[in-house]
Amino acid sequence: MDGRQHRLFILAVSLVPLLGVAVAMVLLWNRAFGVSDVVSLVVMYAIGGIGISTGFHRMLSHRSFKSGRAVQDVLAVAGTIAGQGPAIIWAAHHRRHHRVADRDGDPHSPYAGGEGSRRAILKGLWHAHLGWLFDEELTSDPVRYCPDLVRDRHLRWISEHFVGIVVAGLAAPALIGFAVSGGEPMAALTGFVWGGLVRLFLLSHFTYAVNSLGHFHGRRRFSTPDESRNIGWLAVPSFGDSWHNNHHAFPRAAGHGMRWYEIDPSAWLIKGLAALGLVWDVIEIDKDRQDQRAAGLARIGGGRHARNEPPVPLAEMPRRGRRPAADAADIE
Ligand SMILES: [Zn+2]
Ligand SMILES: [Zn+2]
């Protein structure tokens, strides 16, 4: 799949679910909506969401834990059905984001359009949310950003068969609805709408909200050279990825929620898999290290009550030189 096909596909998976949401509203209005549709939506959302958060993000992009072949393949396929791009491309964009977050070269910073006016803010948020996916110029070379993933034969196969896996993920709830209802065509349609299109729509926007709002609005606990923020209300739908300031402070940590009240379903899943012996070498950050880092922000006037707007205009922030291309050991 070349860059143009990739963008066309992303355009399709952004627009078609909108139609699905419209159909879903008509079905709701007519009360053509059953328990099986709710189950279909929740189960398919959970599979895609865990695939993105635990699979694409923590496992592939950051190597926060190790696993066997089967667990890696299952998580990578689960992430693929979310329709957010092939696994290796997703990880390449994401590693690049961490390397230059909110500075030149960040694929999806909400500050890319400049700062100041309301128009610039909205333009920046749109770019960080969805607009960046349609940027003709934007490519993150997987060989440069994730040579370790490119070398993996299974991940290459899953990435190359991206479209087929997304389509299978849309067909599955329709087929299951059809089978469970004993052959009702309407059940196939509502399964497709709720478990396929509405699920795709909701998961995309909750994931992309971490990129846009997660660098714009919310609290900061740690001093990081970017504008990452923690957003509590996004924690459940993003499976814990919205503790985004914690994550930028400690990118390789498997857990993003760092307090008992910071809900982090992906971290619970990783712990469960570790207890079963299915994953290992789970990266954890001890409390002392977290506290030391948080104290740094408290001294400069941040902490949990930091203002929502960037404390220092980005234009005045020290710019660090670009770092050379990463090798496999330089995963952030
Ligand atoms: Zn970020
Ligand atoms: Zn990350």
CA of 184 to the centre of ligand 1 (A): 44
CA of 250 to the centre of ligand 2 (A): 9
How does 182-202 read in b/e, with b if 16+ C-beta sit within 10 Å?
Answer: eeeeebbbbbbbbbbbbbbbb
Q: Is the pLDDT of residue 190 over 90?
A: no
CA of 3 to the centre of ligand 1 (A): 23
Of 23-32, 103-112, 129-138, 300-309, the poorest mean pLDDT is in: 300-309
Average pLDDT over residues 56-75: 97
Average pLDDT over residues 300-310: 48
CA of 157 to the centre of ligand 1 (A): 27
Residue among 293, 270, 298, 288 nearest 64 (CA): 270
Q: What is the pLDDT of residues 90-146, one digit of tens each?
A: 999 999 999 988 888 888 888 877 666 777 888 888 888 888 887 777 888 888 999
Residue among 124, 180, 133 nearest 14 (CA): 133
Please give the residue that has the higher pLDDT: either 221 or 168: 168
Percent of the chain with pLDDT over 90: 51
CA of 34 to the centre of ligand 2 (A): 37
> What one-letter code names the amino acid at 305?
H
CA of 267 to the centre of ligand 2 (A): 14
Do residues 65 and 58 make contact, with C-beta atoms less than 8 angstroms apart?
yes
Do residues 50 and 239 make contact, with C-beta atoms less than 8 angstroms apart?
yes
Largest CA distance in the chain: 65
CA of 109 to the centre of ligand 2 (A): 13
Domain locations in the chain as residue ranges: 3-316
Ligand with minimal distance to 224 CA = 1
Angle at 150 between CA 147 and CA 153, to 5 degrees: 140
What pLDDT is recorded for position 225? Answer: 84
Parallel, antiparallel, or unpaired: how do β-strands 66-67 and 279-280 relate? antiparallel
CA of 274 to the centre of ligand 1 (A): 26
Q: What is the pLDDT of residues 310-329, one digit of tens each?
A: 555 444 544 444 333 333 33
What pLDDT is recorded for position 243? Answer: 96
CA of 14 to the centre of ligand 1 (A): 21
Q: Is the pLDDT of residue 15 over 80?
A: no
Average pLDDT over residues 13-36: 74
What pLDDT is recorded for position 237? Answer: 96
CA separation (Å) from 147 to 73, 88, 171? 18, 9, 33
Ligand with minimal distance to 214 CA = 1
Residues 6+ apart with CB under 8 A from 234: 206, 209, 210, 213, 214, 242
Q: Is the pLDDT of residue 73 over 90?
A: yes
CA of 228 to the centre of ligand 2 (A): 11
Ligand with minimal distance to 247 CA = 2
Q: What does the radius of gyration of the chain's CA atoms come to, in whole angstroms?
A: 20
CA of 248 to the centre of ligand 2 (A): 7
Ligand with minimal distance to 226 CA = 1
CA of 238 to the centre of ligand 1 (A): 13
Q: What is the pLDDT of residues 230-289, one digit of tens each?
A: 999 999 999 999 999 999 999 999 999 999 999 999 999 999 999 999 999 999 988 888
Enter the DSSP assignment of 325: P
Q: For the chain, where are the alpha helices, taking DSSP H only?
A: 3-29, 35-50, 69-80, 87-99, 118-129, 142-145, 147-150, 153-160, 162-180, 185-191, 199-212, 244-249, 265-275, 287-299
What pLDDT is recorded for position 300? Answer: 57
Mean pLDDT, the chain, whole residue set: 84
- HSE at residue 86, side-chain half, CA atoms within 13 A, is 27
Alpha-carbon span 303 to 262, nearest angstrom: 16
Residues 6+ apart with CB under 8 A from 83: 13, 166, 169, 200, 204
What pLDDT is recorded for position 288? Answer: 84
CA of 277 to the centre of ligand 1 (A): 30
